[in-house]
Amino acid sequence: MGVLDMAMALRRGRPHRASGELALHVLEVLDAFERSSREGRHVDIETVVQRPVVVPLGRGEEVFLAD
């Protein structure tokens, strides 16, 4: 679904949901979990990312045609 969303986003000129900014943020959060557990302390999250628009309910490719 991620590849289909990316293709439809490129075709329609909108940002796709699996952006590099979101990937960086997820990586930072996962790293913070590990560091916090290992070091026994709170680790601040520095990246901020806008939540992508949710995938509409439906079945198959038609959910991406509503954008």
Which one-letter amino acid corresponds to residue 58?
A: G
**pLDDT at 66 exceeding the cut of 80:** no
Model pLDDT for residues 9-56, shown as the tens digit of each residue: 888 888 888 888 999 999 999 999 999 999 999 999 999 999 888 777
Q: How confident is the model at residue 8 (pLDDT cuts 50, 70, 90)?
A: confident
Place of tokens 């943020």: 25
Q: Is pTM, for the whole model, over 0.75?
A: no
Nearest to 53 by CA among 11, 7, 14, 12: 14
**pLDDT at 67 exceeding the cut of 60:** no
Nearest to 18 by CA among 64, 66, 65: 64
Element (H, E) at 7: helix 2-12
pLDDT at position 19, please?
A: 86
Q: Which two tokens stand for residue 3?
A: 């590849």
